[in-house]
Structure 1
Amino acid sequence: MTAVAARVAGAPISWGVCEVPGWGRQLDPATVLEQMREVGLTATELGPTGFLPDAPSDKAATLATYGLAAVAQFAPVVLHDPAVDPVPQVEKVIDGLIACGATTLVLAAATGVDGYELRPTLDDAGWATLLGNLDRLADRAAERGVVATLHPHVGTLVESGDDTDRVLAGSRIGLTLDTGHLLIGGGDPVRVAVEHPDRITHVHLKDVSLALARRVQAGELGYRDAVEQGLYVPLGDGDVDLAAIVKSLQAQGYSGWYVLEQDRVLGAAGAEGSGGVGAGGADAEPGEDVRRSVAHLLSLVDGPASGTGEAAP
Structure 2
Amino acid sequence: MKAKLGIAPIAWWNDDLAELSDDVSLEECLRQASVAGFTGMETGRRFPMDMAELGPMLDRFGISVCGGWFSGLLLDGDIEVEKDRIAQQMEFFIAAGAPCIVYGETARSIQGLRGAPLATKPKLTEAEMAAYGRKMSDFADWCAAQGMPISYHHHMAAVVETEAELDLFMAQSSVPLLFDAGHMAFAGGDVMRVIENHHARITHVHTKDIRRAVVDGLDRKSESFLDAVLKGAFTVPGDGSLDFGAIVKAIAAKGYEGWFVVEAEQDPVANPPLEMAKKGHGELLRVMAAAGYEVVGAAGGKVQ
Instruction: Tell me the TM-score normalized by structure 1.
Output: 0.82
Q: Alpha-carbon deviation of 1:255?
A: 0.3
Decide which of 179, 182, 192 is 1:180's aligned counterpart. 182
CA distance in 1, matches of 2:2, 2:130: 39
Tell me, yes or no, if the aligned pair for 2:39 and 2:64 is still in contact at 8 Å: yes
Choose from 21, 27, 30 the match for 1:30: 27
Alpha-carbon distance in 1 for matches of 2:109, 2:234 = 23
| Structure 1 counterpart of 2:250 | 248
Q: Once the two structures are superposed, what CA deviation does each residue of 1:275-296 show, in whole Å capped at 9, x if it has no partner?
A: xxxxxxxx32211111111111
Distance 2:109 2:166 in 1: 21
CA offsets, 1:200-253, max 9 Å, x none?
111000110112212347335322222222211231232223222100111111
1:64 aligns with 2:65: no
Separation in structure 2 between the aligned mates of residue 234 and residue 92 of structure 1, nearest angstrom: 31
Contact 2:5 2:260 in 1 (8 A): yes
* 1:76 corresponds to: 71
Structure 2: distance between partners of 1:21 and 1:136? 33
CA contact (8 A) 1:178 1:206 kept: yes
> Could you tell me the percent identity over the aligned residues?
28
Q: Conserved in 2, the CA contact under 8 Å of 1:23 and 1:224?
A: no
By how many angstroms is 1:26 displaced?
Answer: 5.3
Alpha-carbon spacing, 1:213–1:150, altered in 2? closer, same or farther (3 Å): same
Deviation at 1:125, TM superposition (A): 5.5
Counterpart amino acid of residue 291 in structure 1 = K
Q: Which runs of 5+ in 1 are unaligned?
A: 267-272, 274-282, 304-313
- Please tell me whether the aligned partners of residues 195 and 251 of structure 2 are also in contact (alpha carbons under 8 angstroms): yes
- Measured at CA, do residues 129 and 89 of structure 1 come closer, stay the same or move farther in structure 2, by a change above 3 Å? farther
More off after superposition, 68-77 vs 235-244: 235-244
The residue aligned with 1:288 is 275
1:162 corresponds to which letter in structure 2?
Answer: A
2:233 corresponds, among 228, 231, 241, to: 231
Name whichever of 164-173 and 207-216 sits farther off: 207-216
* Cα deviation digits, residues 250-288 of structure 1 (max 9, x gap): 11111011001221244xxxxxx4xxxxxxxxx322111
Q: Which residue number in structure 2 is paired with residue 51 of structure 1?
A: 46
Amino acid at match of 1:80: L
In structure 2, C-alpha distance between the alignment counterparts of 1:133 and 1:217, rounded to whole Å: 34
Partner residue, 1:269:
none
Partner residue, 2:90: 94
- Number of residue equivalences: 283
Alpha-carbon contact 1:184-1:216 (below 8 Å) kept = no
* Counterpart selection for 1:209 from 195, 208, 211: 211
Q: CA offset at residue 192 of structure 1? A: 1.0
Q: Is the 8 A contact 1:203 1:258 kept in 2?
A: yes
Which amino acid in the other structure matches residue 298 of structure 1?
A: L
1:135 and 1:172 in contact (8 A); partners too: yes
Partner of 1:3: 2
Distance 2:147 2:287 in 1: 32
Q: Secondary structure at the match of 2:179?
A: strand
**Residue 133 of structure 1: CA displacement?**
2.5
Question: Partners in 1 of 2:147 and 2:99 — Cα distance?
Answer: 7
- 2: CA distance between counterparts of 1:130 and 1:211? 34
The structure with higher relative contact order (CA 8 Å, sep 6+) is: 2
CA RMSD of aligned residues (A): 2.4
Segment of structure 1 superposing worse, 221-230 or 173-182:
221-230
**Structure 1 residues 285 and 89: alpha-carbon distance in aligned structure 2, compared to 1, 3 A threshold:** same
